[in-house]
């Protein structure tokens, strides 16, 4: 077992038919320690748990409003997610839903075809600019043509999410959980800002980072989004979110970055859960925004909207706590998916749990429970019982924080690890391993 696969404890039933909705909230671990709540990506009408009544988290894409105006709870299949609580390290995948579209047509772009342009071929500096009066409108007009609604149908699930155009010939970046239902002989259509609709096929998907790329058929001359950098973002920076909440395409909201490197669960499978180092924002994000762009004041995409926290009062919607996958992570994954490569993820080769202060409730780091032979951690001298408190310049307050921070690195990168052993603080340099990758297509 490595730092991306920790033991999990189911706290909810397996997926059920639509007539038996189950809560999506992942309850705290049996230790009752802080920092263990999960951020799920199902859109269920959960009301919390006995441990934390009236509070849960969800991902937006499931909950997309079907073509009728009936609330999504009435019209779509949802399943209880086998929620996970941990005693070791984590990471994982997601499930998504989707909505059918009537009538398919594509633009006739067969005149003077040119070489396709891709967002992945250009670089952009992160912006820390503020939003002057009228800037939101200008940014919206710039980014809306590069934002699409994805309508997905597969099995008995249907719904809609959002995507970001990254090439002029139709490649679109989105969340894996938005399109996953179509992975097994399902259907995807794309609704563009000009009103046209085209079918799409999955290029590749990576459940571990909850990212995917699809390609619209018969399209050219599209406007790729400009991808920025997320490494230099600052708390308080103005941002704008664009997407299709509840199927309402081309919706624009604004806010600020309210936190960085927030450990958020991207999803889970029966064996593992997956965490990413999220950008937290108070820009309104709702079910259906998943896969859409979070952009800076200059219109550069700095994150992929992926999850929200909800109150659990029976209503599902924004309470000012939205989370986006940093674009630096998304660009790397998308480039590999477009090239048909297996996406590899960094790891150090340990299992971990929350290290807790003597008060029994304050987490102070990630305690190493075991170290895999010949792993990066073993080569760097880490041992069971060590408590990792910092990775590079990022403080590590919990096991989730460690896994999320590692997710932001690439295999082969070197990073300094600060840890305590026997009451003494030590430092060592680790060259990160690879998990071998997951093709996921």
Query: Distance between CA atoms of 378 and 48, rounded to whole angstroms?
Result: 40
CB of 366 within 8 A of CB of 402?
yes
Pairing of strands 301-310, 414-421: unpaired
Q: Long-range contacts: 195-203, Cβ < 8 Å, 24+?
A: 196/105, 196/106, 196/107, 197/101, 197/103, 197/104, 197/105, 197/106, 198/104, 198/105, 198/106, 198/170, 199/104, 199/106, 200/150, 200/170, 200/172, 202/441, 203/171, 203/337, 203/338, 203/441
3-class state of residue 154 by DSSP: strand
Upper half-sphere CA count for residue 303 (Cβ side, 13 Å): 36
Question: φ and ψ at 343, to 5 degrees?
Answer: -80, 120
Give the span between the Cα atoms of 333 and 300, in whole angstroms.
Answer: 18
Gap between the Cα atoms of 328 and 91, Å rounded: 18
Which of 118, 158, 160, 290 is catalytic? The answer is 290
290 assigned to active site: yes
Catalytic residue among 177, 238, 274, 306: 177
CA 76 to chain centroid, in Å, comes to 22
210 among known catalytic residues: yes
Helix (DSSP H) and strand (DSSP E) numbers for the chain:
6, 21
Identified catalytic residue from 3, 206, 210, 282: 210
What is the per-residue DSSP string for 212-280?
EEEEETT--S--PPPB---TT--TT-EEEEEE-GGG--SEEEEEEEEEEEEEEEEEE-SS-EEEEEEEE
Distance, in Å, from the CA atom of 350 to the CA atom of 372, rounded to the nearest integer, reads 6
- Residues classed as catalytic: 177, 210, 290
């Amino acid at each position: 077992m490595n730092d991306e696969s920790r033991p999990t404890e189911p706290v909810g039933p397996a997926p059920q038919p639509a007539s038996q909705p189950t809560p999506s909230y992942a309850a705290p671990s049996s230790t009752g320690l802080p920092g263990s709540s999960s951020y799920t990506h199902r859109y269920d009408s959960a009301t919390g748990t006995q441990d934390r009544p009236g509070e849960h988290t969800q991902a937006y894409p499931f909950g997309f409003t079907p073509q009728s105006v009936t609330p999504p709870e009435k019209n779509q299949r949802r399943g209880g997610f086998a929620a996970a609580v941990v005693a070791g390290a984590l990471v994982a995948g997601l499930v998504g839903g989707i909505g059918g579209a009537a009538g398919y047509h594509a633009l006739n772009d067969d005149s003077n075809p040119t070489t396709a342009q891709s967002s992945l071929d250009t670089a952009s500096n992160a912006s820390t600019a503020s939003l002057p009066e009228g800037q939101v409108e200008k940014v919206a007009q710039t980014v809306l043509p590069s934002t699409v609604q994805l309508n997905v149908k597969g099995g008995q699930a249907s719904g809609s999410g959002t995507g970001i155009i990254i090439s002029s010939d139709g490649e679109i970046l989105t969340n894996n959980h938005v399109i996953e239902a179509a992975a097994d002989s399902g259907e995807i259509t794309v609704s563009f800002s000009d009103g046209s609709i085209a079918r799409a096929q999955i290029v590749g998907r990576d459940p571990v980072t909850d990212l995917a790329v699809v390609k619209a058929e018969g399209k050219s001359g599209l406007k790729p989004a400009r991808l920025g950098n997320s490494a230099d973002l600052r708390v308080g920076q103005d941002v704008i979110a664009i997407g299709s909440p509840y199927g309402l395409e081309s919706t624009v909201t604004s806010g600020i970055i309210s936190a960085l490197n927030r450990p958020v669960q991207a999803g889970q499978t029966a064996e593992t859960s997956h965490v990413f180092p999220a950008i937290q924002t108070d820009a309104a994000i709702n079910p259906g925004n998943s896969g859409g762009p979070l952009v800076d004041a200059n219109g550069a995409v700095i994150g992929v909207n992926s999850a929200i926290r909800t109150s659990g009062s029976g209503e599902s919607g924004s309470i000012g706590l939205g989370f986006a996958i940093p674009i630096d992570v998304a660009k790397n994954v998308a480039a590999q998916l477009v090239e048909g490569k297996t996406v590899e993820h960094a790891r150090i080769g340990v299992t971990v749990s929350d290290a807790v202060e003597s008060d029994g409730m304050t987490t102070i780091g990630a305690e190493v429970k075991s170290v895999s032979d010949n792993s990066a951690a073993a080569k760097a001298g880490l041992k069971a019982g060590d408590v990792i408190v910092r990775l590079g310049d990022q403080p590590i307050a919990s096991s989730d924080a460690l896994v999320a921070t590692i997710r932001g690195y690439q295999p082969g990168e070197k990073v300094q690890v600060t840890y305590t052993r026997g009451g003494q603080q030590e430092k060592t340099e680790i060259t990160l391993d690879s998990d071998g990758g997951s093709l996921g297509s």
